[in-house]
Amino acid sequence: MKVLNCEQPERKSVIAVSFLVAFLFLLILRLFHEVDLPLVLSCLGQSSAKWLPFSSTHRRPLRTHYGYTHVKTQEPLHLDCDLCAIVSNSGQMAGQKVGPEIDRSSCIWRMNNAPTKGYEEDVGRKTMIRVVSHTSVPLLLKNPDYFFKETNSTIYVIWGPFRNMRKDGNGIVYNMLRKAADIYPGAQIYVTTEKRMSYCDGVFKKETGKDRVQSGTYLSTGWFTLILAMDACYGIHVYGMINDTYCKSEDFRKVPYHYYEPGRDECDEYILHENAPYGGHRFITEKKVFAKWAKKHKIIFTHPNWTVS
């Protein structure tokens, strides 16, 4: 080898060997990465694939989200999207006619039991991910053939407090999901881990300075959706969400809270929740935080449009 003929063979070969060792180390990490060894990955973080050798840009491995586990197999969620469309349940969606645009996105996200049937022109027809609150699970179970059979390509991500989601037989919502997964083996049902739930609380604390529990609030499904989407998507278009000042603005539109059912006016509902001393969602506070995220991530809020910067 050329190295050995040089003036300082020992030093050079030490360097060469070090490089070789480092390279082999990276290669081994890379191989572990291929088989998804959770320990190695969680140490390296999710961006590891970018600097490990032989990382193919064509065959990008699916991102693994360890905070979400399959209700039956306990496997973590794999999800990696380019442009995501997150469709709000708001009455703002009625008459927007953005269905075809939404359906052209690489991943389409919906929340809770928001329907597409009969609303395709406004909200689109495809659903790739549905983020669902523990309180909305009974609504899915009212129509299980539709949610878990007809639309079995949809990934369900359920969030809820530990008392309802515990896996020891005492979590009532977890039990319902387990049963649904047994009846519908093709259903892709994932639950948010306890650790991930605390992480989402931690994000609220970090962004608002307030402890979620002490301030008497529940996080919204939108909150959990955006946190996962920021990890899974390269870009996000959010349709139909109003901003934090919308209800005080001059061009505000009076619409129902949900596009698919009559009911209380959206702004009335927002204000009621924002001021509830206990048990409300801080929808307006959350929107202020979303606007902040939109400055750091590729997030566009549209219909109605937000101006962020």
Ligand X SMILES: *[C@@H]1O[C@H](CO)[C@@H](O)[C@H](O)[C@H]1NC(C)=O
Secondary structure percentages of the chain, helix, strand, coil, to 5: 45, 20, 35
Q: Which stretch binds ligand X (CB under 6 A): 48-56, 66-74, 190-198, 239-247?
A: 239-247
Cβ distance 241 to 222 under 8 Å? yes
Applying CB under 6 A, which of residues 8, 18, 152, 170 lies at the interface with ligand X?
A: 152
| Cβ at position 307, least distance to ligand X in Å | 4
Quick check: 290 binds ligand X (CB under 6 A)? no
Whether the CB-CB separation of 292 and 303 falls below 8 Å is answered with no
Per CB under 6 A, 186 contacts ligand X: yes
* One of 249, 254, 263, 292 touching ligand X (CB under 6 A): 249
SS3 category, 293: helix
Residue 170 lies near ligand X (rule: CB under 6 A):
no
**Residue of 209, 238, 208 whose CA lies nearest to 222:** 238
Q: In whole angstroms, how close is the CB of 92 to ligand X at the nearest point?
A: 10
Pairwise CA distance, residues 246 & 300, whole Å? 16
The residue at minimum Cβ distance from ligand X is 186
Considering the complex, what minimum distance in angstroms separates the CB of residue 32 from ligand X?
Answer: 28
What is the smallest separation between the CB atom of 148 and ligand X, expressed in angstroms? 9
Q: Please give the Cα distance from 252 to 265 (Å, whole number).
A: 12
- Distance in angstroms (rounded) separating the CA atoms of residues 212 and 284: 14
Examine residue 151 and tell whether it contacts ligand X (CB under 6 A): no
- The span of 67-75, 91-99, 276-284, 300-308 binding ligand X (CB under 6 A) equals 300-308
Candidate residues 97, 149, 292, 298; the one interacting with ligand X per rule CB under 6 A: 149
250-289 footprint of ligand X as x/- string (CB under 6 A): -xx-------------------------------------
Q: How far apart are CA 125 and CA 103, in angstroms?
A: 7
Other CB atoms within a 10 A radius of the CB of residue 292 amount to 12
Q: What angle do CA 153, 157, 160 make, to 5 degrees?
A: 155
Binding site for ligand X (CB under 6 A): 149, 152, 186, 243, 245-246, 249, 251-252, 302, 304-307
